[in-house]
Structure 1
């Protein structure tokens, strides 16, 4: 076996005698071993070394097994490391708690080492398979993004393609979740078969495997529901029927309704203590638009402002409507991070991701503002951006006034 491919196993146990016993057996099977006597030492090791599998005791000083599992779940790089809990504690409550905390298996210390070795081999094989699938998915995603960019470079004036791409980006996460969940379900079923053969008398372990499978299936079902909803959107919406969807409406009424909805539907407005101010033009502003698309623009601009206000001391958003020559306009203004000068002429480019006001925990693809600009162009309107880094941003959307209806007003 090539040295670079030898799996590295971390043994976390406060008993030197048991660690030595494990070390001897694992060395015979050509594994690389690292030892820790408690959870804190284990975390320090994980910060410095790449670990392929963890054998974890529950009862230890300084940091016990449950605290260690919690720490692992909080870290992106450690969350997917297979963990086998080895313990002399065997209460049903503790066993179930370990599964809830993310452990892959629970093995009593009285179990024969030969059985444990077989489990380790199987889980490392599973891990290699999952890593291969993830690498393949990442490569396919990279190719997809590259091909999509090339498509838009050649066909940048086709709005339906851009709309479809935005939906496909939203679909990618649930699709990936369903695929990965299905793979995990297959692995768990195979594991269950083996467990039944190896340890027919251990009903508790089999029961917990059923629990884990059931929870994964439930999560896959939820992901599938999201997938179905987004697919419906893809089938029912689009710019191809744009002319049939135009309606004559009052911009003031649309903005007022959208703000009321945002205050209810977007909890961050309230949770982040953001003060929202609305100032409507004194008279109706009659425009001919596709209302749902204009609502999407308003929602997108408000969402961007919320992200920009994440660290603001006195966060506020001001929404205003008005009239200028033959245009009705609305603006969304915030006192957030602002846009760097060198990025102002790029923010409407497809796939451009700004450096300011982005929550790193949230996935975004640089599509929102490109879609806003495309929608405004299709309505014969224009958009204006005023921003200063560290001060805030004001984005104003201008839409043509419906001439006949406005005269009646």
Structure 2
């Protein structure tokens, strides 16, 4: 597919020297590329309003609008910024090369250029462009699939749940215990699948949520979310302790979801303990904070630690601990969005500790 795209690729040459234009056009035509010519920056911008090429070869020094200004105009335009730009510059002009990269140009070739090198660079950046485009299309298809799953699977499952409710209401008194248990099992399983679909959709949207960073007091957030969760389990006996945590730069909504998943896991896996214990602490490295949430719950075999952050991976049965197997994946994705990473340690029947890092100077 990418090879087919390469044979149909269109390249814009922006240069004010006729000899250079003629040479470049000849080389590109020999490679079966489509070629558009602009002899100055203003003409190039007008052409770009009408049609977007797959790559631009841009001379640095031109009258009125030089290559740097044109590059800046292109890269600052959301509709054009994805087009790879290769600067053409003199071999001893290191400042131009540096400035070109600062303006987000993808590459450069020096004059007088080697034809093989020029073509190699063009092919490389066209392949990267088409691979990126294919990946974006795949993400769009995945997004559409997720919405289809949400509509086509959730609706009938929710209908089944309602039908079961009506059935129990009308005939429940006439059924023996075995039949009632069977209906209850069907109801729980349909609800479980609906919840899994919701979590999968939540996970798929995670990378698209726009980041709105502000100062977040982690100590307050941990305490607030714990209180919300423990109210739903009033009969639990849990010792919860939060040591002083930093105020960080982060998205408050994503960080709330992060901590909600962390504490939900800790409370879930300590549910069979006479006294559940959850402790949150912080240590510092040179450039990052390390937040640790330790519990005295079920724990796990470290042999399987590398599987835990995969979507729908579970080390315990649904009957033993409810859940969708998506929580740790969401934790990892949120932490990565903040420039950090998450990891976990544990031992069977001795609990687990979930760690995540957050850069101190979070960009």
What TM bracket, shorter-length normalisation? 0.3 to 0.5
